Amino acid sequence: MLTNIIELLQQQVTPIVLQSETEHLLEKKHALDNFYPILLSLLKEKPDYITELQNHLNPRLSDLFKTHQSLKEKFIEAIGATAPPSEIEETLNHAIAPTLGVLETQAGSNDQHAIEHFLLNHNTDIAVALPLWAKPLLAALGVNTLVGQTLNQSPSNASYIGAKRQNRWWIPVLFIVALGLICALLFKMCSRVEQPTTVADSSNVPSQPAKFQLTTGQEGMLVTCQIFTSNKSYIDILQAEVKQIFAHPVGCGVDDNNQLHENFIDQDAIPSVLKIIKGTPNVSITWLGDQLSIQTESNTTAIELAQKIRPLVKNMQIVMQKPIDVNQVVGRSVSDAEKALASLNPEHVRALDVATALNLQIINFEPDSSEIPEINKSILDQAAALIRRAPQVNLVIEGHTDNVGTAQDNKELSVKRAQAVMDYLIKQGVDPAKLQAVGIGAEKPITENSTPEGQFKNRRIEFTVLNTETGKARQVNEQGVNTEGY
């Protein structure tokens, strides 16, 4: 079983983030490899970031750097080698949500303290993988990589004398770190040309276990499928089995990177397992190393499948992942949005304030439905009252779906859902000229669609701010409006 958290992220998150990329793949992969230990170090030392990122439907680098945006730009240049900075930033943005998903799975909970405890237990793996050039970067963000504590922590009374000496020692060190940050980043940029050679030299040595991932939809038929193995002959065999069992003309996506192992444990049982799963709705399985993960809508279904599959995979451990508690997640999001809206001053409302608050809520539409759930209507009522009093507030309502079904159907459904929200606000007295509904479909997922939880996160409504002069919409994050080209 893969226990190194950095290797696990490289194996599970990187293929998801890069699956649709065609340019600068080597640089983007290298950037992700360096990003994981930096991100985990920050989350470990500043665990409040965990909850903050979880509450964002679309967490981004800006959420991590906050008031250090100039530092973010230097960081992107340093980590991205010769790739365009904008592409590197987008790649790292896309990695944050699935990384959180892996941490929640490994910690066995989405609770901040559980994830923090998990990261502390894997501190050695994180520290070993952390690039040397990144340590002054983390120090500038308030993370002390030398002692594993945040720089603003106070010493206990019991260690007053030692702490006093330590504080005197840190005064010149912190000064040197601040001055050396730019030098370290420049060193990283100067040495980046040599990095691809290192990757190429080790590319012939398999370092990652083979992986097979498959998800079924409402009818129990194939929705998504991915094969990760360097064994091209077996890929052809497994593809033929998947197409035949599920009567699917396309089959699976493939990654045949030579760093992947050729064989799966108990791989002869895979076709038999697929036949057991066929017909069961909303099942997600992940075949990785000696572990077979099963996630379904109910624990009962997962137990039944595990009982049937266990005799076939005698050398593997079956893990039943707990399904997401949709009601709890939606309820918490609505509560957060309600508090955010209530904190706004009606006399000084900005488009940014309203959009940020609305993006805290999850509007969980029923399958193939555009009817707004009752739990969300009170939030929309609050927002409508504020928008009516703020003539400068102009919003775009974006509808997003998962990738279940055809692209055309998803696009049409996303338009209907965005329009439903817009119509509701208009009924509450909002001027139609202040609103615009747009359907995005499944084109901009914020995480993988290969699990029910991922599909749930991708089915969403996002509010963006509209520039009435240019007609362009800009995404909203915690720092404000993305004004590039605005």
For helices 270-277 and 232-246, angle between their N-to-C axes, nearest 10 degrees:
20
Would you give the distance in Å from CA 479 to the centre of its chain? 19
Fold classification of 326-481 is 60s Ribosomal Protein L30; Chain: A; (3.30.1330)
- How many CA atoms lie within 13 Å of 457's alpha carbon, on the beta-carbon side? 22
Pairing status of strand 284-288 against strand 291-295: antiparallel
C-alpha 451, offset from chain centre: 13
Q: Give residue 450's pLDDT.
A: 67
Neighbours of 307 (CB within 10 A): 10
Residue-by-residue DSSP string for 349-405: --HHHHHHHHTTS---PPTT--PPPHHHHHHHHHHHHHHHT-TT--EEEEEE--SSS
Instruction: Count other Cβ atoms within 10 Å, centred on residue 234.
Output: 18
pLDDT tens digits along 296-321? 878 888 889 999 999 999 999 998 87
467 by Cβ neighbours in 10 Å (0-12 / 13-18 / 19+) ranks as: middle
Show Cβ contacts of residue 48 under 8 Å, excluding neighbours closer than 6 positions. 112
Q: Do domains 211-321 and 326-481 have the same CATH topology?
A: no
HSE (side-chain half, CA atoms, 13 Å) at 86: 2
Q: Which CATH number fits domain 211-321: 3.40.1520.20, 3.90.550.10, 3.40.50.300, 1.10.260.40?
A: 3.40.1520.20
pLDDT band at 39 (very low <50, low <70, confident <90, very high): very high
Question: How many Å apart are CA 305 and CA 441, to the nearest integer?
Answer: 32
CA 242 to chain centre: 28
High-pLDDT (> 70) share of the chain, %? 81
Between vectors from CA 402 to CA 400 and to CA 408, what angle results, nearest 5°? 75
pLDDT value for 300:
87
d(CA 479, CA 467): 17
pLDDT at 144: 65
pTM of the shown model: 0.43
pLDDT-derived band at 471, boundaries 50, 70, 90: very low
Average pLDDT over residues 380-385: 92
Per-residue model confidence (pLDDT) at position 397: 94
332-351, pLDDT tens digit by residue? 999 999 999 998 888 888 87
pLDDT reading at 81 higher than 90: no
Q: Is the dihedral of CA 359, 218, 18, 108 positive or negative?
A: positive
Domain boundaries, the chain: 5-200, 211-321, 326-481
- How far is 310 from 318, CA to CA, in rounded Å? 7
Contact status, residue 224 vs residue 215, Cβ threshold 8 Å? yes
Is 447 within 8 Å of 339 (Cβ atoms)?
A: no
Task: From 227, 233, 231, select the one nearest 206 (Cα to Cα).
Answer: 231
